[in-house]
Amino acid sequence: MKRWITMAFGVVLILVGAVWVLQGAGVLLGSFMTGQKLWFLIGLVAVLAGVVLVAATARRKRTG
């Protein structure tokens, strides 16, 4: 059960981070984050953390 939750959290981090990257880059409009380099960088960190979390969870062997 914990693997599933960890994997889902990683995927959510990737998706939210991708939105932040797009907003920070000025691709998605209509937010205070639009065109802000800070949100681009925060999104990049979130995407990378999500990828690491998903990869680590996928590589971990099942117990039980």
Tell me, what's the pLDDT at 63? 62
Contacts of 9 (CB under 8 A, 6+ apart): 53
C-alpha distances out from residue 17 to 48, 60, 64, Å: 8, 24, 33
- For residues 31-51, give the mean pLDDT: 95
pTM, two decimals, is 0.87
pLDDT above 90 covers a percentage of the chain that reads: 73
Q: Which tens digit of pLDDT belongs to each residue from 5-16?
A: 999 999 999 999
- pLDDT at residue 64 in the model: 53
Compute the average pLDDT of residues 3-30. 95
